[in-house]
Amino acid sequence: MKQALKDADLSAAMQQEYDALIKQHTSDLAPLLFNGQPIRCKWLDVNIAFLNGFLEETDYMVQPPGFEVEDKSLVCKLNKALYGLKQAPLYHNKTSICIFLKIRGQLDYFLGLEVKYMSDSSLIMTQTKYIRDLLSKTNMIEAHPIYSPMVSNCKVSKHGVDLFSDPTIYRSVVSALHMSTITRPEISFSVNKVCQFMASPLESHWTIVKNVLWYLKGTIFHGLHFQVASPHYSFSLKAYCDVDWASDVDDRRSTYRATIFPCPNLISWWSRKQQVVACLSTEAEYRSLA
């Protein structure tokens, strides 16, 4: 850390990241109020990540190295989820976020993201290695691929007696699948579905998880294609949405998904359950547009 602070570029980058944390009111200095260990703080070349999700529980972090105050007994009481916090993916699922990277030179690989530059100046972003490691972790590297992430009209309930034998591995794999949606928006609906059963997963829920993994096996090289807009291309913003009306058999709420394309590139997508029960499919469609 002392060596990093001596580097003018690194020091400026750290200051910029610290200023972003302060601006977002990500934490407050406070004494540690329980007999636990605050999480460690590591500097990443990321300006803002997972800063929009407000925490519903108390978490503490050590003061950022290089920016400590005189009273070393104080820690940072987190107000919002940070990148690397184990709860961050959960809050990411509830909020819209942006990650800004400070790139020195050409970006090829970063936190599981692989970038391939094409001859037409476009680029393809994938997570091939990340997905391959996930398939290896779940012993599915030799599984037969399928070409749809979820069976049509799949209805599952949180109630049942076929409890999954290892809830920890279920949560771990589903969290990893959630990260895969960074470059694989087409699995967002399926991942949203299995995320709803983290507390007490059933064998039927694990079957859906395996379907997603088998699908990723067959499409492991797929990703996002970003094109350079032509100088003669008139700007247009297109948004698409759809809704699976009353799809939850437990509470009858609908799940909607949406995508946004400014010019030719997909930049934002999500899949979420609606907060209220829609009595008509038309009502659910209109709510997905709100």
10-residue averages of pLDDT along the chain (290 residues):
65 78 82 74 51 60 82 83 49 40 66 89 93 94 90 84 92 93 91 91 94 95 89 82 83 85 85 85 81
Does residue 264 belong to any structural domain of this protein?
A: yes
Domain boundary among 92, 109, 144: 92
- For residues 82, 130, 220, 113, the Cα torsion angle rounded to the nearest 10 degrees is 60
Domain for residue 128, yes or no? no
- Number of domains, the chain: 2
Domain assignment present for residue 142? The answer is no
Owning domain of residue 244: 231-290
Give the global pTM. 0.64
Q: Is residue 208 a part of any domain in this protein?
A: no
CA distances from 64 to 16, 44, 77, 104, 246 (A): 13, 12, 12, 23, 46
Which of the listed residues 92, 126, 157 is the one where a domain comes to its end?
92
- Domain boundary among the residues 68, 92, 116 is at 92
Determine the pLDDT at residue 273. Answer: 85
* Strands in the chain per DSSP E: 27-31, 60-61, 74-78, 109-110, 113-117, 123-126, 224-226, 237-244, 255-262, 268-273
Residue 130 lies inside a defined structural domain of this protein: no
- Residue 20: exposed, middle, or buried by beta-carbon count in 10 A (0-12, 13-18, 19+)? middle
